[in-house]
């Protein structure tokens, strides 16, 4: 990278004062009530995202709206009128204001205009019942270089302050036509030619996930704002990685489309040699697809002659499940050493694609250094004249680390023509190799590193081949958290002595811990519309039978590789992990079902070593942040419940919650994800059940999952899954969260109401419902009992006796062959801990014996706790 030595600052009263005045004007556009009283230090609040969530400035509704990950979810609610555009725009504007104060991610503040436009769109919908377009009412953030009429586009130059655009950019025109609402413009580096986002006008933009680190450049403001959930959909630009690098550093999806598929008219000097392109950044793959589909519906070719008049073709987004793709891959391009977290992300993607049946071929990257040289020569070809002119306008110095030409880089007309010819030759040869390889796509790292601090810059050739060849490229996040699996930092560039000097900087500056790794997906130009938003046809994974959890798990294991979806579920486990995990889950499931023998270990004992090995595989599977891993989590949570390993059970529930948070944080988002991952709702129901019942059995308060997770429960379906009525489950939940202690009178009344609802035991369904109503009463009364005497509150003894008697009676009436028999383990345990007569002990003991006889061990730890209690009170 060519760098200029930063000159000394000129005297105050020149560019410094103009920049300060511009920032003051910006702050004045933020409502006073949205301004933070003080900006927390980086050490006290390293994560802007966490600080925003916990601060309290956002209302519950605003948090709910802005925590929505998928634009399609909000657009659906806006179109139906469930949410007004004004409400949504205000929520994101407030959150953007908070994010900016913590990270310096925004430039122009457009709140007043945005509120007026949102109200106009709401009025149109109310008056006509129709939306103005596919992005109706959706707040969209836009990069500073894309003009908005009447607003500055400083692009990081003080000399451009106070020079508002005379018209909307082509991109903005199309998006307005589609119903988008612009509310902020976002920060960039000076001249937009740097992998950081710093300039003299606005200052240093940092990452929302870690304020010690950068968010990349040049669309760094966009990536920071979206990862802070201050935007749900943003527009950046790319000429050498300016969308892909920021997306990679913040764990987002980003797409640099085929040049002829998207408008972008604001190019820099000599950018006809290597042309820039605008494209979307979003938190979900579905968001990228939503944007690109809508943008093509806006007919961008009518405002930009460079855009091909090709409509969106949805049928091209679906690959038949029987089609075998031929995909190339690059792990290391030989120029800059790929660091271990990034290499692992690529390797896992390769393994997942192989497991899905696709052919993977290693791609020769030896020409990529040549691509970078051509790209850099084009970027520097004006000799730095444009940057010098802009510096002279204000007296500001160049920022260190910018890629800017020197006089010796200036190309004559003849040299420019020669460069164009060289570029065309490279492009033609690259595409010839692509076609000869009969390749559908190419995957590789976006950049070789995962985390950098401000004022560290790296040269990498990994973004340039697709630019030099005008190929579309998308960033695909591997949401892997490396905090507990840090990669070695001793990897030395000297191990590859033929590599270029930037390789050394690449090792010394990186900060891999707790950073996402992103894989680039490159397609040929004809696939530019669809790189990224492509998914396989889903096959039916399960039938309607809900006979038992273990049968469902067995079905999931048999069809796990068929699971696919557009909301992130397409990621699969590595081939080796998949094989081991599915095999061992099947062994365990089939043994429980009694349809196949458990594979014996070398010691001849059935299963424990296989079980432990499967748990190790699951630990590896969790790191893929894959919704499919819910299958394994649910399976092992179930078996650990059966075998009394409550500590492991809780650990996997935390893992499940972490996975869920990566993909959805609201009821609506979970519903959308569940449509893409067949059976996910049922898996979540099991996990919610395990969470609450674990707290009940352990006698603790506080749950891992939250209320909004439980809002997704379908009353009828939930009963079929776990055997407990949804209304009774809410009683258990109240006990588990400690609500009984807060409202003992209300809890007692709720218990009385539950007992009054007891029905006649005419059917297995009625018996099961009655058993759990009794169990809920026992749980409430047990939580209220005196800690020393272990007696219920005065007047409640009769209620406890009645509940235990009734539950034992139900157990005597329930046939062992009932489909609900095995669901009653928790209820039996709760009764067993409160029995007062030996015949009640016998009923509880018979239940455990019947479970063992059926090879379904249920809570052996709980059974031993019951027997210990019986001995203590003289019943055994």
Hey, which residues are catalytic here? 143, 218, 242
Task: Please check whether residue 553 is in contact with residue 270, taking contact to mean a CB–CB distance below 8 angstroms.
Answer: no
> How far, CA to CA in Å, does 446 sit from each of 293, 302, 336, 854?
24, 33, 12, 53
Give helix then strand counts, H and E, for the chain.
33, 15
Kindly report the CA angle at 515 between 513 and 519, in degrees rounded to 5?
A: 130
- CA dist 427 and 293 (Å) reads 28
Beta bridge partners of 254: 281, 475
- CA dist 710 and 694 (Å) reads 16
Kindly report the CA angle at 197 between 196 and 202, in degrees rounded to 5?
A: 150
- Is the preceding peptide bond at 218 cis, omega within 30 degrees of 0? yes
Beta bridge partners of 323: none
b/e 361-385 (16+ beta carbons within 10 angstroms → b)? eebebeebbbbbebbbbbbbbbbbe
Say which residue the tokens 């023998």 belong to: 597
Residue 669 burial (CB count, 10 A): 22
The DSSP H or E segment spanning 442 is strand 441-445
Task: Please check whether residue 475 is in contact with residue 244, taking contact to mean a CB–CB distance below 8 angstroms.
Answer: yes
- CA dist 448 and 340 (Å) reads 9
Residue length, the chain?
A: 876
| Pairing mode of beta strands 318-319, 277-282 | unpaired
- CA dist 694 and 649 (Å) reads 8
In three-state secondary structure terms, 824 is helix
For 446, which DSSP code?
S
Phi, psi of 234 (to 5 degrees): -135, 160
- 714 Rama sector, left if φ>0, alpha if ψ -120 to 50, beta otherwise: beta
Chain centroid to CA 682: 21
In 3D space, the residue among 249, 613, 218 whose CA is nearest the CA of residue 402 turns out to be: 218
- CA dist 30 and 94 (Å) reads 9
- CA dist 327 and 348 (Å) reads 14
- CA dist 683 and 596 (Å) reads 24
End-to-end CA distance of the chain: 80
- Quickly list H helices, 305-412: 340-355, 368-379, 385-394
- CA dist 506 and 445 (Å) reads 14
- CA dist 840 and 829 (Å) reads 12
């Amino acid at each position: 990278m060519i760098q200029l030595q930063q000159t000394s600052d000129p005297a105050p009263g020149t560019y410094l004062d103009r920049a300060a005045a511009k920032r003051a004007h910006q702050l004045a556009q933020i409502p006073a009530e949205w301004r933070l009283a003080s900006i927390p230090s980086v050490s006290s609040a390293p994560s802007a995202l966490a600080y925003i969530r916990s601060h309290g400035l956002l209302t519950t509704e605003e948090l709910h709206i802005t925590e929505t990950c998928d634009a399609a979810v909000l657009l659906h609610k806006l179109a139906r009128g469930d949410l007004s555009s004004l409400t949504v725009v205000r929520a994101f504007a407030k959150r953007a204001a908070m994010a900016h104060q913590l990270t310096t991610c925004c430039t122009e503040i457009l709140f007043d205009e945005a509120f007026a436009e949102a109200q106009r769109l709401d009025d149109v919908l109310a008056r006509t019942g129709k939306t103005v377009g596919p992005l109706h009412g959706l707040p969209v953030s836009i990069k500073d270089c894309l003009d908005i009429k009447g607003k500055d586009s400083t692009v990081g130059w003080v000399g451009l302050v106070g020079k508002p655009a005379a018209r909307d950019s082509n991109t903005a025109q199309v998006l307005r036509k589609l119903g988008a609402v612009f509310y902020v413009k976002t920060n960039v580096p000076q001249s937009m030619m740097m992998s950081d986002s710093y300039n003299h006008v606005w200052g240093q933009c940092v990452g929302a996930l870690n304020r010690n680190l950068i968010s990349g450049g040049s669309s760094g403001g966009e990536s920071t704002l979206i990862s802070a959930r201050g935007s749900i959909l943003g527009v950046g630009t790319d000429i050498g990685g300016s969308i892909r690098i920021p997306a990679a550093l913040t764990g987002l999806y980003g797409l640099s489309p085929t040049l002829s598929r998207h408008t972008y008219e604001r190019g820099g000097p000599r950018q006809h040699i290597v042309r820039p392109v605008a494209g979307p950044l979003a938190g979900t793959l579905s968001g990228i697809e939503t944007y690109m589909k809508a943008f093509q519906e806006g007919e961008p070719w009518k405002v930009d002659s460079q855009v091909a008049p090709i409509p969106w073709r949805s049928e091209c987004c679906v690959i038949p499940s029987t089609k075998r793709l031929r995909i190339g891959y690059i792990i290391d391009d030989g120029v800059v050493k790929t660091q271990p977290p990034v290499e692992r992300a690529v390797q896992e993607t390769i393994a997942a694609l192989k497991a899905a049946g696709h052919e993977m071929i290693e791609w020769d990257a030896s020409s990529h250094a040549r691509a970078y040289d051509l790209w850099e020569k084009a970027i520097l070809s004006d000799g730095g004249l444009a940057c010098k002119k802009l510096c002279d306008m204000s007296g500001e110095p160049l920022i260190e680390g910018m890629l800017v030409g020197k006089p010796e880089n200036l190309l004559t007309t003849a040299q420019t023509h020669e460069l164009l010819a060289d570029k065309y030759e490279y492009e033609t040869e690259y595409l010839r190799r692509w076609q000869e390889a009969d390749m559908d796509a190419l995957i590789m790292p976006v950049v070789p590193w995962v985390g950098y601090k401000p004022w560290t810059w790296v040269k990498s050739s990994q973004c340039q081949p697709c630019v030099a060849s005008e190929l579309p490229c998308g960033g695909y996040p591997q949401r892997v958290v490396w905090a507990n699996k840090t990669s070695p930092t001793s990897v030395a560039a000297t191990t590859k002595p033929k590599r270029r000097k930037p390789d050394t900087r690449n090792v010394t500056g990186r900060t891999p811990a707790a950073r996402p790794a992103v894989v680039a997906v490159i397609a040929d130009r004809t696939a530019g519309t669809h790189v990224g938003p492509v998914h396989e046809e889903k096959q039916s994974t399960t039938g309607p039978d809900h006979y038992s959890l273990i049968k469902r798990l067995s079905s999931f294991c048999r069809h796990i590789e068929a699971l696919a979806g557009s909301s992130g579920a397409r990621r699969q486990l590595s081939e080796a992990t998949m094989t081991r995990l599915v095999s061992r889950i099947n062994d365990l499931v089939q043994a429980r079902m009694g349809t196949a023998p458990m594979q014996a270990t070398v010691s001849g004992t059935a299963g424990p070593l296989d079980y432990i090995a499967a748990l190790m595989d699951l630990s590896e599977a969790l790191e893929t942040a894959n919704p499919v891993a819910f299958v394994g989590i649910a399976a092992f949570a179930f078996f650990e419940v059966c075998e009394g390993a409550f500590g492991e059970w809780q650990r996997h529930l935390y893992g499940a919650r972490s996975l869920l948070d990566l993909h959805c944080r609201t009821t609506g988002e979970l519903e959308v994800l569940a449509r893409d991952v067949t059976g996910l709702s049922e898996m979540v129901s099991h996990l919610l059940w395990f969470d609450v019942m674990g707290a009940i059995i352990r006698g603790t308060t506080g749950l891992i999952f939250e209320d909004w997770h439980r809002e997704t429960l379908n009353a009828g379906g939930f009963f079929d899954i776990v055997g407990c009525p949804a209304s009774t489950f809410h009683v258990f939940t109240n006990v588990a969260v400690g609500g009984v202690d807060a409202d003992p009178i209300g809890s007692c009344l709720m218990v009385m109401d539950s007992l009054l609802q007891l029905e006649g035991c005419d059917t297995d369904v009625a018996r099961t419902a009655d058993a759990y109503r009794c169990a809920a009463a026992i749980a409430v009364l047990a939580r209220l009992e005196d800690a020393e005497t272990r007696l219920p509150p005065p007047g409640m003894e009769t209620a406890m006796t009645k509940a235990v008697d009734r539950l034992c009676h139900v157990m005597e009436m329930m046939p062992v062959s009932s489909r609900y028999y095995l669901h009653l383990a928790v209820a039996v345990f709760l009764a067993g801990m409160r029995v007062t007569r030996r015949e009640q002990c016998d009923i509880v003991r018979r239940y455990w014996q019947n479970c063992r006889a059926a090879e379904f061990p249920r809570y052996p730890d709980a059974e031993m706790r019951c027997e210990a209690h019986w001995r203590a009170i003289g019943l055994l």
